[in-house]
Amino acid sequence: MSVNYGSKRTVVGAHYGLRDWLVQRTTGALMALFTLIVLVQLLLSQGPIGYGVWAGIFSHQWMKLLTFAVIVALAWHAWVGVRDIFMDYIKPVGVRLVLYVLAIVWLVGCAGWGFQVLWRL
């Protein structure tokens, strides 16, 4: 006599769990730190906040490197979130693949645009 204890679960991305959790927390912390740094620099600036103040904040090499890291972190953070949403809610594999490709193209394009603005290419 066989006993059925429930349906078998299909595991689609078993290796994603802890890694994605760490990526989301790490990239989120980096973006929060970046936001605090920019806010502090804005609060410490004197006079009206215009183009000169913004250009001054991002003129230092360390700030450009930090901003570069934040752009990469933002794209990675968004990718993990969007991919998880697609895995959870889009069941047809073909549709999910098309959405993955569109999301990747969009995120790479946005990151490239951010780099272009940052480095004035």
Q: Which residues are annotated as a binding site for a ubiquinone?
A: 89
How far apart CA 88 and CA 4 sit, in angstroms, is: 25
- Which segments are annotated as binding site? 77, 89
Task: Determine contact, residues 37/70, Cβ cutoff 8 Å.
Answer: no
- Which segments are annotated as binding site for heme? 77
Task: Determine contact, residues 73/27, Cβ cutoff 8 Å.
Answer: yes
How far apart CA 116 and CA 10 sit, in angstroms, is: 42
Q: How many Cα atoms sit within 13 Å of 4 on the Cβ side?
A: 3
Task: Determine contact, residues 108/75, Cβ cutoff 8 Å.
Answer: yes
Structure token pair of residue 16 = 């994603």
